[in-house]
């Protein structure tokens, strides 16, 4: 049976989801919604689907089963709660919400109501990272090094999406948990001395260096930056005794410095398709754990001290 869907938030990521819903045989892009009325009517025309100026109208349409939340993170909580109350299937872009204290009660509600929920941790489906995961499966690893730097980032967008750690860091904290098959026990962030004054004035960071110690003794080092001359750069290197693996080998050279929506475009499709095909909760725990790490990274950056973590 076809799953009728609605995409909320129609910028780069929302548009990718619209295309993917059309590409997946089991789903149909039935509605699009955005606060910007010009944008929502332009996109509904482009994809030949419906739109409305009233979200409640879409919500009450019983034929719409799946909602993809791709609006800024500071709007997620509102939509997630509305959708839970109408028992809808939810694909939520990372992170789930802004306020960590509200995370556990929300997860409990999702579980109790048996809502099919997916957190968009799409990097787990990116080819270079799948390749690395396969290579390290039977090896003992000691160190994970991750770099993520982007060019021309918009500070207001970073703030709407929860800041450096929740917006950018979350994907890479999750990758490190996945690669290490473990959970962090302590974390240290150095961000204040590295960040641009305009970010600091707005309670955000533009740059950070983060170190995590995992339960199984693996160490992960992260370097995040909102500046990069050449474009978007992300790289994972994993070291073990007499062995190392580097994601550079597996990224397409032609799109190496392109934005994530180009260089790992297919991962968004695969993440959504996996959710549709498995038809059950995907990455709810992983998304929640990654968000707890983001919060600890932020606390550590603010107080400039190591933080202990317990899961």
Residues of this chain that bind ligand NAD (CB under 6 A): 8-14, 33-36, 39, 70-73, 75, 93-94, 120, 122, 157, 160-161, 167, 260
CB of 198 to ligand NAD, least distance (A): 18
Q: Which is nearer to ligand NAD, 184 or 287 (CB)?
A: 287
Query: In terms of CB distance, is 219 or 258 closer to ligand NAD?
Result: 258
Closest CB to ligand NAD among 72 and 287?
A: 72
Nearest distance, CB of residue 119 and ligand NAD, angstroms: 10
Reference 3, options 60, 110, 88; nearest CA is: 88
Q: Which residues pair with 152 in a beta bridge?
A: none
Closest residue to ligand NAD in the complex (CB): 9
Query: Smallest distance from the beta carbon of 150 to ligand NAD, in angstroms?
Result: 10
Contacts of 17-21 with C-beta under 8 Å, sequence gap 24+, read 17/68, 17/70, 17/91, 17/268, 17/272, 18/43, 18/47, 20/268, 20/269, 20/272, 20/273, 21/68, 21/272
> How near is the Cβ of 177 to ligand NAD at its closest, in Å?
16
Asked if residues 62 and 30 have their Cβ atoms less than 8 Å apart, the reply is: no
| Nearest CB to ligand NAD, comparing residues 219 and 286 | 286
The residues, any chain, with a CB within 8 Å of residue 218's CB and separated by 6 or more, are 141, 142, 143, 144, 180, 182
- Closer of 125 and 214 to ligand NAD (Cβ): 125
Closest C-alpha among 127, 128, 140, 101 to residue 240? 140
The two tokens of residue 120 are 């968009």
Cβ distance to ligand NAD smaller for residue 34 or 207: 34
- Rounded Cα distance between 92 and 104, Å, is 16
To ligand NAD, the closest distance from the beta carbon of 303 in angstroms equals 25
**189: phi then psi, degrees, rounded to nearest 5:** -115, 140
Closest approach of ligand NAD to the CB of residue 43, in Å = 9
Cβ closer to ligand NAD: 141 or 170?
170
Q: Is the dihedral of CA 11, 12, 13, 18 positive or negative?
A: positive
Nearest distance from C-beta of residue 214 to ligand NAD, angstroms:
24
């Amino acid at each position: 049976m076809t799953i009728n869907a609605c995409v909320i938030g129609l910028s780069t990521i929302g548009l990718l989801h619209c295309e993917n819903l059309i590409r997946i045989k089991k789903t149909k892009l039935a509605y699009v919604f955005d606060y910007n009325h010009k944008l929502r009517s332009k996109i509904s025309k482009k994809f030949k689907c419906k739109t409305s100026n009233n979200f409640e109208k879409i919500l009450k349409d019983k034929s719409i089963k799946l909602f993809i939340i791709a609006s800024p993170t500071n709007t997620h909580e509102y939509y997630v709660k509305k959708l839970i109350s109408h028992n809808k299937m939810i694909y939520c872009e990372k992170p789930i919400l802004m306020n960590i204290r509200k995370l556990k009660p929300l997860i409990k509600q999702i579980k109790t109501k048996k809502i099919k929920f997916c957190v968009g941790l799409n990097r787990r489906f990116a080819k270079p990272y799948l390749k690395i995961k396969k290579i390290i499966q039977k090896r003992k690893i000691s160190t994970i090094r991750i770099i993520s730097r982007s060019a021309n980032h918009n500070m207001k967008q970073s703030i709407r999406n929860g800041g450096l750690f929740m917006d950018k860091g979350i994907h890479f904290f999750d990758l490190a948990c996945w690669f290490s098959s473990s959970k962090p026990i302590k974390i240290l962030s150095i961000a204040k001395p590295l960040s641009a004054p305009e970010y600091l004035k707005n309670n955000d960071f533009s740059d950070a260096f983060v170190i995590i110690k995992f339960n199984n003794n693996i160490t992960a080092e992260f370097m995040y930056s909102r500046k990069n001359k050449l474009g978007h750069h992300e790289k994972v290197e994993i070291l073990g005794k007499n062995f190392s693996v580097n994601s550079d080998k597996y990224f397409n050279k032609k799109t190496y410095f392109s934005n994530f929506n180009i260089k790992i475009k297919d991962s968004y499709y695969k993440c959504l398709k996996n959710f549709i095909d498995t038809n059950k909760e995907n990455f709810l725990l992983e998304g929640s754990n990654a968000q707890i790490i983001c919060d600890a990274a932020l606390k550590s950056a603010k107080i400039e001290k190591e933080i202990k973590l317990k899961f």
